[in-house]
Structure 1
Amino acid sequence: MSESKPKQSRKGNREKLMNAALDLLAEDQSGLSGISLRRITKACDLSPPAFYSHFASMEELGLALVNDVGSTLRALLKGVRDADTEAAVIAASVEAAFSYILGNESLFILIARERAGSSALIRAAIRSEVRQIVEEMASDFHERGLFERFSLPEKEAAVAAIVSLGLALIPDLLDVSRNSAADGDALLSEFKFQVQFILS
């Protein structure tokens, strides 16, 4: 008697759909709105009903991807904020964030495009994730006595400016780093200098 093949887990199929969407985003310049549900399900050998068992719509899939990015970035940044000096915290935070960005290019193609995309819900979700990152970083700095020359509202304003700069840098960094690691490193060095200037 032959053993029955185990069914693919719901989590596994969900991840397959999300990864297929990211792969197609890397190829398609129109953003999430330009990718059909059928293309995604075909790319990962699933049926449209399988899609709807995980996501009510393409927009919901996009929201799940944005949430994953925000949760991962917050965890990465929190993990490096116990460095000994302000300079070390800055360097470790930039390194953690941009190592994740460069290692997950398709995710950040999504973020870059959907910040100005057609879905108001996804735009709002990105803004919410950014706000959470800003508030958590500023609060942690305040509690640990870092950047004491700034009040808490000033820390939030400074971190918000840094995060905005970082988001604006992503498209150029992804383009440049594909052709030259050295040029990518130069962009990151310039960004670190800007961060130090803002926090000086």
Structure 2
Amino acid sequence: MQSVKKLMVVVFAIALGGRVIAAPTTDLPVAPKTQGNATTSANESEKDVKAVNNFSNDKLDESLSSELMMQKHIQQLVENDYRYQAELRKLKHEVEMEKMLSEIRKLRGEDKVKPLPAPAREAVNISENKASVTENSPLPHVVLESVIGGLSRIAVINQGGDQLLYVQPGETFAMDGKQYILTKDKKMGLQIKEANL
């Protein structure tokens, strides 16, 4: 933010300086020495005034175009600086979050526990899989465990993957036309069982 302030001060100083320099002059040219005809000196002074006016108009146009170019350039610099600072803040926040998560893992001792290898899945024929689904409908499964508004909520999804519910442990819920109950056990963790009503 400091760099933006400094940049704006520089822009203001340049713009103010450009306007002071680009201000048209109202001074009359120096009067020529009167050594001859009064009519020739009047014609010469008119020519001098026209030349000065043309010169000042050209200089004014040049200064305005250079001023506009400078303003556009400074505007581009400010926009680039803003984008850079926003990206920098975003990256700094990500680094801080990773550091905090790493420290939390260390405190919990999760970094020392080696993850168990995933069990190898057996190749199942697609037609057999569909037949087993229709014959005996498998239980829904837990997708996510989270705390929402201070309450522990568990995301449960059906086997088809088209219905998602957030339930609390011990709560009964209906999914795919059947009643289920979500239980939480210290040894087994979260389990979904059919509710016997």
Give TM class, smaller chain.
under 0.3
TM-score, scaled to structure 2:
0.24
Give the helix-richer structure, 1 or 2. Answer: 1
Give the strand-richer structure, 1 or 2. Answer: 2
TM-score, scaled to structure 1:
0.24
Greater length-normalized contact order (CA 8 Å, ≥ 6 residues apart): 1
